[in-house]
Amino acid sequence: MNSIVALPIAAAVPVASPALANSPPSQGEDTSGAAMLARAETAIETFRTRFISEDFTLDNDGAERVLRYFRRLAEGRPDDESEWSAVIEFFSVHGHVLGWILDGRAEVLICLTAALNVLERNQNKSESTDPILSLIEDHKRANAEYGEGHQGSLARHLQSGS
């Protein structure tokens, strides 16, 4: 089976510690095909039964394809590269829980959640408007409104001949 390290999405996922990222599964964490299938079923059932966000839509066909892939693994059948690519694509769109599905370490989810929080905070900071720019825009708007009103009274004044 493919390794999580070989995934293109693994490089994009921030990890709290290089030691944590490279650590082997702890004792008691099951990396068998059956355990991966159980975790995939849990993830997809969670997607199906919980509120994620207003604009979250589950790809049910993709979810079934993921489950088929992990069922094949649990049965001991050979890996299928095209189906593995579909698994990667599904989880890159629906939430990066693939690391947890593969090795069962909750640390993956904890670090990912924390990293996504940091990214969201940074994005919100970059999107916030500079107060000076807001004042400049307010000034431009006020000048435009004043100019329109003033031009209207000037036009009336010229029409009246005064």
Mean pLDDT of 61-73: 97
Q: Specify whether 91 is located in the same domain as 140.
A: no
Q: What is the mean pLDDT of the chain?
A: 76
Q: Specify whether 140 is located in the same domain as 90.
A: no
Mean pLDDT of 41-48: 94
pLDDT of residue 4: 41
Q: Specify whether 27 is located in the same domain as 84.
A: yes
pTM of the predicted structure, to 2 decimals: 0.57
pLDDT of residue 30: 86
Q: How far apart are CA 107 and CA 29, in angstroms?
A: 12
Q: Specify whether 12 is located in the same domain as 61.
A: yes
Q: Between residues 143 and 116, which one has the greater pLDDT?
A: 116
Domain that holds residue 71: 4-127
- 108-130 residue pLDDT tens: 788 878 888 888 888 877 666 66
Burial class (CB in 10 A: 0-12, 13-18, 19+), 109: middle
- Most confident region among 8-12, 77-81, 139-143 by mean pLDDT: 77-81
Phi, psi of 15 (to 5 degrees): -125, 140
Q: Specify whether 141 is located in the same domain as 81.
A: no
Residue type for position 49: T
Q: Specify whether 84 is located in the same domain as 141.
A: no
Q: What residues contact 29, with CB distance under 8 A and at least 6 apart?
A: 103, 104, 105
Q: Specify whether 29 is located in the same domain as 102.
A: yes
Q: Specify whether 9 is located in the same domain as 87.
A: yes
pLDDT of residue 49: 93
